[in-house]
A and B are shown apart, each in its own frame.
Chain A
Amino acid sequence: MKTYTFHVSGTHCPSCKIFIEDALNEQAGIMQTIVDLKNETVSLETSLDESQHKLAEMLTEKIKHNGYSLSVEKNTKEKNDQGIIWQALPVGLGFLVLFFLLQKSGILNLGIGGQITPVTSFVIGLIASVSSCLAIVGGLVLSLSAKISQDNTSDTKTFTLFHAGRLISFALLGGVLGAVGNVIGINFTLATILGLFASLVMILLGLNLVGVFVKSKVALPARLFNFFRRIEHKTLTPLVLGFATFFLPCGFTQSMQFSALSSGSFVSGLIIMLVFALGTLPMLVLLSFGSASFAHGKHAPLFFKSAGVVVIGLGLFALLAGLAGLGIINPLFSI
């Protein structure tokens, strides 16, 4: 009977400890597995005669589907990470430059005159999905998707639920706006505060994805952390989150909500908002399912770090704009 200690990567949650211990103990010849989350080590007793390196490989095979891996030396992965961040920075910044140039170019400011028809609201949805609204809604989708894909292999269901929740909420709440008419106003301040919250989540997730401080990984606050766990594992949470995107600040969404408000009936409000949401769908689906396919591909580390850079940039943009919108700081920029 020998005792070995391995370094483990991918442990980001308290439940990982239980999972890894159970998974490894199932293996014949392995017992007394103990995961030390703080030091990111796994110690175990084994009756097998394999070398430590061989064991690490063999056991990694068992748990790698869930994103964990065992190694004998700790620093190999970190060395890679250091190199990847220098590739991820230009990639991420490149996307940010393209995005802001697109905003500044004025291509997206084409005027659409006349009555709102389903076709125009679809087109407006398409434009909105690549506009500055992408900074908040798209940034949030990208950061959550990347995080979920990083942690979880069965992400498709979560994403589908999220998008379904988004479509349902736009249709239902659009209908309600149409039916209620001018009685309720759309509260900007509430939307802006939600947007600030979203931008903080994005920055935190972005830092986490980049893994800026590899040693002391930016740990998510416990509450927020539990919240993500629930997103990943429950059916209701992604639905609710999709639902909540209706209230995120986005000029296009707000003017469509206004159109729904003045449309005068439940059905017409419903159609306007549903079609608008359908217009935004392709881009958002691309972001979430795109992250999933990258996350499971061989460029996954580069993808996560680049996505982190993009998300931090968009988060900062949304944060500064939101603070300016609330009148807390002077607008620093005007794109």
Chain B
Amino acid sequence: MNRIASIVITIALAISIGIVFFGQSNNSPDSAGTQSAKNVEIRDGIQYVTINARGGYSPKISTAQANIPTKLIVKTNGTYDCSAALIIRSIGYQKVLSQTGEEVIDLGTPQAGALQGLCSMGMYNFNINFD
């Protein structure tokens, strides 16, 4: 094989790995912006943030209000992958969620700032921005 051709292919492949990993971060703010309106609601003075967990978390970025009692609902639906093994470091939460169901996690009354959830292997994550 021609060395120059190999180098070209190598660079092309390296770029496509970059696109696979980082490509989504470019368009995610838009899609998250439309989704986050739907997944945060306030009922009886309690704010509920809903995240779907299967093959990752969606929406990845949510925006919610700070200083309101807040509960996080994580929905699983036949979830066997890593997103069922949920870690939220800032509140010391870690649990393997049941495969199908809703897990209600009390977040207390969050201060302004971001809350991050991860799966145990670290390759899926979601953020909730309280402001």
Binding site for B on A (CB under 8 A): 83, 86-87, 89-90, 93-94, 96-97, 100-101, 104, 106, 108-113, 116, 124, 127-128, 131-133, 136, 186, 188-189, 191-192, 195, 249-252, 254-259, 313, 317-318, 320-327, 331-335
Docked CA distance A324–B81 (Å): 18
Segment at the A interface, from B5-13, B35-43, B104-112: B5-13
What are 17 A-to-B residue pairs whose CB atoms are below 8 Å? A86-B1, A94-B13, A106-B55, A111-B54, A127-B80, A128-B80, A186-B96, A188-B94, A249-B120, A250-B121, A254-B84, A255-B99, A321-B122, A323-B122, A334-B56, A334-B123, A335-B20
- The verdict on B68 contacting chain A, using a C-beta distance below 8 Å, is no
Docked CA distance A110–B79 (Å): 8
A113-B82 in contact given A86-B7, A90-B13, A333-B22 (Cβ < 8 Å): no
Binding site for A on B (CB under 8 A): 1, 3, 6-7, 9-10, 13-14, 16-17, 20-22, 24-25, 54-56, 60, 77-85, 87, 89, 94, 96, 98-100, 116, 118-125
Docked CA distance A127–B54 (Å): 14
Docked CA distance A152–B48 (Å): 59
Partner of B85 from A188, A317, A318 at Cβ < 8 Å: A188
In the complex, which residue of chain A has the Cβ closest to the Cβ of B96? Answer: A258
| Chief secondary structure at chain A's binding surface | helix
- Point out the residues of chain B lying under 8 angstroms from A86, CB to CB: 1, 3, 6-7, 10
- Point out the residues of chain A lying under 8 angstroms from B55, CB to CB: 106, 108-109
A100-B20 in contact given A124-B80, A251-B85 (Cβ < 8 Å): yes
Contact B122 A331 (CB under 8 A): yes
- Point out the residues of chain B lying under 8 angstroms from A116, CB to CB: 99
Docked CA distance A82–B77 (Å): 50
Contact B82 A327 (CB under 8 A): no
In the complex, which residue of chain B has the Cβ closest to the Cβ of A250? Answer: B121
A101-B20 in contact given A249-B120, A321-B122 (Cβ < 8 Å): yes
| Chief secondary structure at chain B's binding surface | mixed
Min C-beta distance of B91 to chain A, whole Å: 12
In the complex, which residue of chain A has the Cβ closest to the Cβ of B95? Answer: A185
Contact A195 B125 (CB under 8 A): no
Docked CA distance A128–B1 (Å): 35
Contact B16 A97 (CB under 8 A): yes
Partner of A89 from B6, B22, B56, B79 at Cβ < 8 Å: B6
- Point out the residues of chain A lying under 8 angstroms from B13, CB to CB: 90, 93-94, 96-97
Partner of A252 from B21, B80, B100, B118 at Cβ < 8 Å: B80
Min C-beta distance of A263 to chain B, whole Å: 13
A251-B120 in contact given A101-B20, A325-B87 (Cβ < 8 Å): yes
Contact B121 A251 (CB under 8 A): yes
Contact B60 A322 (CB under 8 A): no
Partner of A131 from B81, B99, B120 at Cβ < 8 Å: B81
Min C-beta distance of A264 to chain B, whole Å: 14
Contact A93 B14 (CB under 8 A): yes
Contact A192 B80 (CB under 8 A): no
A-B complex: 9 closest residue pairs judged by Cβ atoms: A251-B82, A109-B55, A111-B78, A325-B122, A321-B122, A93-B13, A258-B96, A324-B122, A90-B9
Docked CA distance A101–B18 (Å): 11
Specify which of B83, B85, B122 lies most central, judged by the most chain A CB atoms within 10 Å of its CB: B122
- Point out the residues of chain B lying under 8 angstroms from A250, CB to CB: 82, 121
A108-B81 in contact given A325-B87, A335-B56 (Cβ < 8 Å): yes
In the complex, which residue of chain A has the Cβ closest to the Cβ of B118? Answer: A325
Min C-beta distance of A118 to chain B, whole Å: 15
- Point out the residues of chain A lying under 8 angstroms from B119, CB to CB: 251, 325
Min C-beta distance of B57 to chain A, whole Å: 8
In the complex, which residue of chain B has the Cβ closest to the Cβ of A125? Answer: B80
Partner of B17 from A89, A93, A133 at Cβ < 8 Å: A93
A331-B125 in contact given A251-B81, A255-B80 (Cβ < 8 Å): yes
Contact A327 B121 (CB under 8 A): no
Docked CA distance A326–B54 (Å): 21
